[in-house]
Amino acid sequence: MVKKVVTKTVTKTVHEGGDTSKASIIDSGEKTVEEKKVPKKKKMTAREREELLIENFVGLQHAMTNLSVKFGSLSDNISKLLQVFEEAAKNFVSGGKSDDKDMLEKINALLDQNKTIAKGLVLMEGKLRGRSEAYEQEMPQPEERPRPKPLPHL
């Protein structure tokens, strides 16, 4: 056990007939305080160590088995995905040009419709602007107010 030497300073307040005074007393007496040590862990026996190693080894084997099963399913999924890409590449190379022509015709028709709609909107906007300009000319213009003075900074 480790012993520690402690010196202690004590401050006492003395009340004598209404007079309050403080007196410091240094206790010169040395006291020993015993510090607690952390108890050491007991050593494992050979049998306990073997059981712990066996348990950890079995857990490791279980994890490795799960990992190998997951890798097997992952490789199967990747091979299926590669087959899908191969089929898509074959279909793209072999044909599909008739579908492209149909798609291009539909896109061209949509472009023509968009051009027609855009021209109509421009014409409508021109008419609306003409009306709004005529309306603004008929209405008297309000007088401009002077700007208010800014607030002083504090």
pLDDT tens digits for 8-22? Answer: 555 556 555 555 555
> What is the rounded CA–CA span in Å between residue 82 and residue 71?
16
> What is the rounded CA–CA span in Å between residue 13 and residue 27?
16
pLDDT at 86: 92
Residue 129 phi/psi, 5-degree rounding, is: -65, -40
Over residues 33-91, the pLDDT tens digits come to 555 666 677 888 999 999 999 999 999 999 999 999 999 999 999 999 999 999 988 88
Residue 26 phi/psi, 5-degree rounding, is: -100, 120
Give yes or no for a contact between 27 and 8, defined as CB atoms under 8 angstroms apart: yes
Token pair 């000319």 is found at: 137
Share of the chain above pLDDT 70, in %: 63
CA neighbor of 7 nearest in space, from 33, 40, 39: 33
> What is the rounded CA–CA span in Å between residue 106 and residue 96?
16
Query: By mean pLDDT, which of 13-27, 42-56, 96-110, 116-130 is the weakest?
Result: 13-27
> What is the rounded CA–CA span in Å between residue 41 and residue 52?
16
At residue 128, what is the residue type? Answer: L
Domain range annotation of the chain: 3-34, 97-137
At residue 24, what is the residue type? Answer: S
